[in-house]
Amino acid sequence: MKKEKLLEVEQLNIKFTTSIGDVNVSDDINFTLNKGETFCIVGESGCGKSVVALSLTRLLPENAVINGLVKFEGHPISGLDEKAFAKIRGQKIATIFEQPMSCINPVMRIGDQIAETYRANFNCSKKEAKLQAIKKLEEVKMPVNRYNAYPHELSGGMQQRVMIAIALACNPQLLIADEPTTSLDVTVQYQILELLQELKEKYHMTILMITHDMGVVHDMADRIGVMYAGNMMEISEREDFFKKPLHPYAVELLNVVKDPCHYTIPGAVPNLMETFTGCPFEPRCNKKTALCKTNKPESVVMGERIVRCLNVVPN
């Protein structure tokens, strides 16, 4: 079956210009999202996962320079001007963030924040928007009488539910979830993931999830992208990934999950202000060869899988 593509990202380069030099956080990243799937981007902190996700809807700070082609439903959206792009945000692509407490307006009633999203995208009356907001509150399993509550009156899990309700107010096709469960405790994490899964099926949504939690990946993902130092190291289907990870970094990530108390990947994520002549993972890699230091690996396509490593030979 040929899968329909919802989002295509080609040659995405992102750098931050700072007073002490440029920081390259995304280096020629390519990936596609198929309609209806959940794609997880994993990697350690500081690998540029969130930056890639936020760049898709241009939510990065002003010092970010984004280059590359992003196509949504076959139409390039990377060249749109701000006004046209605002119509895509919220209505077609919505985002939920980590730390919901700081991401919802502290002085506005939560119901109004949901209704506002709906009203901003569909020209409708206040009453209609309010009804829609109530419907969304029910969908995220919040008591409707919390419509008039302020964010600080809610628990972290409830706040994340509000965040989801805000994001889903306009029934977007693509939901970008940037570490949606990171700041929540384990039992609540599970509830939130379950809710996301349920809503995804209900609305046939596509989810792009950023996480560093392999448990979340295992539960949610259809496909997985492994990022390291601004590079997409491996993209593969979930089954293949957990059965036989190909890239040495992916292998290491799974090793950590198998024995989280004793095993860590030696070394640390490199400073992204450096430029790499070879493979960025080379200093920490246990399968490195002399070539890895000098030659930058290209993406190797192996059926459904894409791997960026000099030592992985196509079968």
Partner 1 sequence: MLKYIFRRLLYLIPVMIITSFIAYMLVYLSPSSPAQIILKARYTSEPTQEQVEDFNEEYGFDKPILVQYTTWLNKAMHGDLGKSLTDGSDVWEDFIYSFKASAKLYFSSQILALFIALPIGVYSAFKANSLFDRFSRAYSLVGISLPDFWLGMILVYIFSITLNILPSFGYTSPKNLILPMLALGLSSSFSLIRLVRTSVLEVLHLNYIRTARSKGLSEGQIMMKHALRNAMIPIVTVLGIHLTHFIGGAVAVESMFAWPGLGNFFAKAAGSQDIPVIQGFVLLSAIFFIIANLIIDIICKQLDPRIDFHNESGKNNG
Please give the residue ranges that form the binding site for partner 1 (CB under 8 A): 57, 59, 82-83, 86-91, 94-95, 97, 99, 102-108, 116-117, 120-121, 150, 152, 163, 166-167, 169-170
Give the Cβ contact number of residue 289 at 10 Å.
12
Distances in whole angstroms, Cα of residue 307 to Cα of each of 68, 107, 190, 221: 20, 47, 31, 18
Minimum distance of partner 1 from residue 202's CB (angstroms): 21
Buried b (16+ CB within 10 A) or exposed e, 219-257: bbbbbbbbbbbbbbbbbbbbebbbeebbbbbbbbbeeee
Nearer to partner 1, 148 or 289 (CB): 148
* Residue pair 246/234 in contact by the 8 Å Cβ criterion: yes
Minimum distance of partner 1 from residue 73's CB (angstroms): 17
- Type of residue found at 242: F
Minimum distance of partner 1 from residue 225's CB (angstroms): 21
Q: Which residues are 64's β-sheet partners?
A: 16
Nearer to partner 1, 169 or 229 (CB): 169
Q: Which residues are 72's β-sheet partners?
A: 7, 75
Minimum distance of partner 1 from residue 13's CB (angstroms): 22
Rounded to whole angstroms, the Cα distance separating 42 from 36 reads: 19
Rounded to whole angstroms, the Cα distance separating 50 from 52 reads: 5
* Residue pair 96/163 in contact by the 8 Å Cβ criterion: yes
Minimum distance of partner 1 from residue 287's CB (angstroms): 40
Exposed, middle or buried by CB within 10 Å (0-12, 13-18, 19+), for 299? middle
Nearer to partner 1, 60 or 292 (CB): 60
Q: What is the DSSP letter of 297?
A: P
Report the residue count for the chain: 315
Minimum distance of partner 1 from residue 276's CB (angstroms): 30
Nearer to partner 1, 171 or 299 (CB): 171
Minimum distance of partner 1 from residue 16's CB (angstroms): 15
Nearer to partner 1, 106 or 314 (CB): 106
Nearer to partner 1, 155 or 264 (CB): 155
Helix (H) / strand (E) element for 258: namely helix 248-258
Buried b (16+ CB within 10 A) or exposed e, 90-125: bbbbbbbbbbbeebbeeeebbbbbbbbbbbbbeeee
Minimum distance of partner 1 from residue 57's CB (angstroms): 6
